[in-house]
Amino acid sequence: MKFAVIVFPGSNCDIDMYHAVKDELGAEAEYVWHDAESLDEYDGILLPGGFSYGDYLRSGAVARFSNVMKEVIKAAEAGKPVLGVCNGFQILLEAGLLPGAMRRNDSLKFICRTVELKVENNETMFSSAYEKNEVINIPIAHGEGNYYCDEATLANLKENNQIVFTYNGTNPNGSLENIAGIVNEKGNVLGMMPHPERAVDELLGGADGLKLFQSIVKQWREAHVVKL
């Protein structure tokens, strides 16, 4: 499986993402600049965290118009796995690939620490390696991670089982219903504020995030295995 790690001006977690899939997962990965005109050669798309375009206007609002986003949308429509972490999640929301929006943390402060997440849905291509209701430890680092959507959207998320991760215990940012990560209705686009790529080795303080990437590869292999 070959991953594209999308790099925007201001991305600062692209190296972490590359390390997670290349060195820890053992998959192929390449950095892809924001002006790329094709993602056809890649099996999975990764949008890392950071401050794309300096977070001007609002987080992800400018990156949404980058040339590569046309290809990200095309990949998502084709059913390829698309993962957006932190700023990547914000970009997916701005691009309309996921419903809802991000607001400033309710504390109005940047938060950087490890939090507990609860796996609400382990039946997605991103979470199948986890147990349902499993509690995992994943770092967060954001100033605008307060997820919000209207009542109708929230009802749809619940009805379609699109809420994949929630904050367990203390809600660090005021996110609606403790939401930390959601998928689209098709189930191939995941956005989450916590950073699984920063939790892929015990040397980093924990490896709970590695299962997310293992889930992607497992699902991809099962879908592409040649049956003799």
Q: Which of the residues are catalytic? A: 86, 195, 197
Q: Which of 130, 131, 136, 133 has the alpha carbon at shortest distance from 115?
A: 136
Q: How far is CA 148 from the centre of its chain?
A: 16
Q: Which of 102, 99, 98, 100 has the alpha carbon at shortest distance from 52?
A: 102
Largest CA distance in the chain: 57
The three-point CA angle 198-164-28 to 5° equals 45
Q: In whole angstroms, what is the distance from residue 228 CA to residue 225 CA? A: 9
The three-point CA angle 21-24-29 to 5° equals 25
Q: In whole angstroms, what is the distance from residue 104 CA to residue 175 CA? A: 10
- The CA dihedral of 164, 101, 17, 221, to the nearest 10 degrees, is 40
Q: Is 215 within 8 Å of 127 (Cβ atoms)?
A: yes
Rg (CA), the chain: 16
